[in-house]
Amino acid sequence: MLTMIRNMLRSKLAGLLFVLLIVAMAAWGVTDVFSGGLGGNLAQAGNTEFSESDLDREVERQLRTATDDRGRSLSKAQAVERGLVDQVYQRELFRTTLVAYASKLGAGATDAEVLDVIREDPAFESDTGAFDPNLYRGLLNQSGFTPASFEKFLKRDLTINRLTGTISAGLQTPEVVSSLQASYSGETRKAQWFFLERDALPEAEPISDDELTAFYDERKDALTNPQRRRVSILNLKVEDFLNQSEFSEDELRSYYDAVKSSQYAGPDTRSWTEFVFESEEEARSALGRIAGGAAPSVIPGLLNSADRTGQMTSMNNRQLAERVFGPTAQPGGIFGPFETGRLFTVARLESITPGEVEPFDAVREEIVDELSREQAIGLYYDSLSQLDNLIGTGASLESIGAEMGTPVLSFAPVDRSGTTQNGVRIAALQADPDILMRAFELTEGGKTSRFGQDETAYILRVDSIVEPFTPDLEDIRDDLRLALEAQRDSEALNTTAQSIQHDIASGALTLEDAAETYDANVVEFDQAFTRVPGPNSQIPPALAAGVFSLKEVGDIYLAPLQTGQAVAVVQLTSIEKPAGDALQAASSAASTEIESQLTNDLLEAFVAEIQSDVKLKVNDGAFSSYKARVNPDT
Model confidence pLDDT, tens digit, residues 212-234: 999 999 988 888 899 999 999 99
Upstream peptide bond of 337 is cis (omega within 30 degrees of 0): yes
Mean pLDDT, to the nearest integer, of 347-360?
A: 87
State the Cα–Cα distance between residues 233 and 411, nearest whole angstrom.
Answer: 9
- Please give the Cα distance from 46 to 108 (Å, whole number): 13
Of 512, 517, 496, nearest in space to 571 by CA: 512
Is 90 exceeded by the pLDDT of residue 161?
no
Q: Would you state the pLDDT for residue 605?
A: 77
Q: In this structure, what are the phi and psi dihedrals at residue 38, rounded to the nearest 5 degrees?
A: -110, -5
Q: Can you tell me whether residue 390 is helix, strand or coil?
A: helix
The answer, yes or no, to whether residue 172 has pLDDT greater than 90, is no
E strand or H helix at 339: strand 334-340
Tens digit of each residue's pLDDT (9 = 90 or more) over 32-48 = 444 445 566 888 888 88
Looking at every residue in the chain, the average pLDDT score rounds to: 82
Q: At what angle do helices 147-169 and 580-613 cross, to 10 degrees?
A: 120
Greatest Cα pair distance, the chain, in angstroms, is 113
> Please, which residues bridge with residue 230 across strands?
464
What is d(CA 73, CA 20) in angstroms, rounded to the nearest whole number? Answer: 47
Position 37 scores a pLDDT of 54
Winning range, highest mean pLDDT, from 57-71, 151-165, 479-493: 479-493
Strands 269-277 and 343-353: antiparallel
pLDDT band at 195 (very low <50, low <70, confident <90, very high): very high
pLDDT on residue 463 = 95
Model confidence at 71, pLDDT cuts 50, 70, 90, reads: low
Q: Give residue 464's pLDDT band: very low, low, confident or very high (50, 70, 90).
A: very high
Q: Residue 72 and residue 65: Cα distance in Å, rounded?
A: 10
Give me the percent of the chain exceeding a pLDDT of 90.
Answer: 21
Burial (CB count <10 Å: 0-12, 13-18, 19+), residue 340: buried
150 Cβ neighbours under 8 A, 6+ residues apart:
140, 143
Pairing of strands 616-618, 343-353: unpaired
Burial 131-159 (b: 16+ CB within 10 A, else e): eeeeebbbbbbeebbbeebbbebbbbebb
- Length, in residues, of the chain: 634
What is the distance, to the nearest Å, from the Cα of residue 273 to the centroid of all Cα atoms in its chain?
42
Collapsing DSSP states into helix, strand and coil, what is residue 173? coil
Q: Residue 331: is its pLDDT beyond 50?
A: yes
C-alpha to C-alpha distance for 298 and 114, rounded to whole angstroms? 39
Query: For 13-40, what is the mean pLDDT?
Result: 43
Give the torsion sign (CA, 502, 504, 509, 514). positive
Q: What is the DSSP-derived secondary structure letter of residue 32?
A: G
Question: Which residues sit opposite 353 in a β-bridge?
Answer: 269
Residue 167 pLDDT? 66
> What is the tens place of the pLDDT at every residue in 481-530?
999 988 898 999 999 999 999 999 999 999 999 999 999 999 988 888 88
Instruction: Say which residue, 514 or 602, is predicted with more confidence.
Output: 514
pLDDT at 502: 94
Note whether 575 and 186 are within 8 A (CB): no
Average pLDDT of the segment spanning 191-198: 92
Is there a contact between 315 and 324 (Cβ–Cβ < 8 Å)? yes
Task: Tell which wins on pLDDT, 167 or 564.
Answer: 564
DSSP 3-state of 387? helix
Q: How far apart are CA 634 and CA 628, in angstroms?
A: 6
Phi/psi of residue 559, nearest 5 degrees: -130, 95
Q: What is the pTM of this model?
A: 0.47
Rounded to 5 degrees, φ, ψ at 188 are -120, 155
Where is pLDDT greater, at 443 or 531?
443
Contacts of 502 (CB under 8 A, 6+ apart): none
* Single-letter residue type at 357: V
Compute the distance between CA of residue 462 and CA of residue 233 in angstroms, rounded to an integer: 9
Residue 181: pLDDT band (50, 70, 90) is confident
Q: Provide the 10 A C-beta neighbour count for residue 625.
A: 13
Contacts of 413 (CB under 8 A, 6+ apart): 228, 229, 230, 420, 421, 464, 466
pLDDT given at position 4 = 40
Of the ranges 243-247, 261-265, 488-492, the best mean pLDDT one: 488-492
**Mean predicted confidence (pLDDT) in 55-79:** 74
Inform me whether the pLDDT recorded for 449 exceeds 60.
Answer: yes
DSSP structure class, residue 614: S
Q: Is the pLDDT of residue 26 over 70?
A: no
Type of residue numbered 33: V
Residue 458 has pLDDT above 90, yes or no: yes
- Read off the pLDDT band of 634 (50, 70, 90): low
- Please list, residue by residue across 202-232, b when 16 or more beta carbons sit within 10 angstroms of its beta carbon and e when fewer do: eeeeeeeeeebeebbeeeeeeeeeeebbbbb
- Reported as a single tens digit per residue, the pLDDT across 86-137 is 898 888 888 888 888 888 888 888 888 888 888 888 778 766 667 888 878 8
Measured CA to CA in angstroms, residue 72 lies from 22, 263, 266, 268 at distances of 46, 10, 6, 10
Contact 383, 376 (CB under 8 A): no
pLDDT more than 70, % of the chain: 90
Q: Find the Cα–Cα–Cα–Cα dihedral 23, 26, 31, 34, rounded to 10°.
A: 20
For residue 151, the model assigns a pLDDT of 85
Whether the CB-CB separation of 98 and 610 falls below 8 Å is answered with: yes
Q: 123: part of which helix (H) or strand (E)?
A: none
Q: Report the pLDDT value the prediction gives residue 73, as an integer from 0 to 100.
A: 66
Q: What is the pLDDT of residue 33?
A: 40
At residue 256 the predicted structure's pLDDT band, cuts being 50, 70 and 90, is confident
